[in-house]
């Protein structure tokens, strides 16, 4: 199952407070995805698609910000259009989760 997502505005400078080194690190720790790490937008052809960052998105039907790996073009806070990401995107909540260093359970 793919996911429909849209960017969360104004998150470019935000750093995780869960102890993870970056939001991408946060995604790697907490997602169960074993996919090749690349931009998860379906059909992405950007040159930097193999070097995604952990992007804040709203998943359709959920008001809480989630993290998915996206290239710079798809991780664009001014882009408010919904787009589709693959099932492998496995969105994780942008908050302290059990596998984060500060969870106390890592
Ligand atoms: Zn984390
Ligand atoms: Zn992309």
pLDDT grade, residue 105 (50/70/90)? Answer: low
Res. 3 pLDDT band, cuts 50 70 90:
very high
What pLDDT, on the 0 to 100 scale, is given for residue 80? 82
Ligand nearest to the CA of 47: 2
pLDDT given at position 10: 72
Q: Tell me: the pLDDT tens digits for 9-20?
A: 877 667 899 999
State the average pLDDT for the chain: 91
3-state SS track over 25-92: HHHHHHCCCCCCCCCCECCCCCCCCCCCEEEEEEECCCCCEEEEEECCCCCCCCCCCCEEECHHHCCE
Considering every ligand atom, which ligand is closest to the CA of 105?
A: 1
Q: What is the pLDDT of residues 32-84, one digit of tens each?
A: 787 789 999 999 999 999 999 999 999 999 999 999 999 999 998 778 899 99
Q: Which residue has the higher pLDDT, 77 or 7?
A: 7
Position 106 pLDDT exceeds 80: no
Q: What ligand has the least distance to the C-alpha of 73?
A: 2
The rounded Å distance from CA 49 to ligand 2 centre is 5
If you measure from the C-alpha of residue 91 to the centroid of ligand 1, how many angstroms do you get, rounded to a whole number?
13
């Amino acid at each position: 199952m793919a996911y429909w997502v849209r960017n969360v505005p104004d998150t470019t400078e935000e750093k995780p407070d869960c102890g993870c080194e970056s939001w991408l690190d946060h995604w790697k720790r907490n997602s169960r995805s074993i996919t090749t790490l690349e931009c998860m937008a379906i059909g992405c052809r950007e040159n930097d698609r193999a070097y995604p960052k952990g992007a804040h998105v709203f998943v359709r039907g959920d008001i809480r910000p989630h993290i998915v790996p996206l290239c710079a073009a798809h991780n664009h806070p001014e882009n408010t259009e919904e787009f589709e990401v693959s099932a492998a995107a496995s969105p994780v909540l942008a908050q302290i989760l059990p596998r984060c260093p500060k969870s106390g359970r890592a």
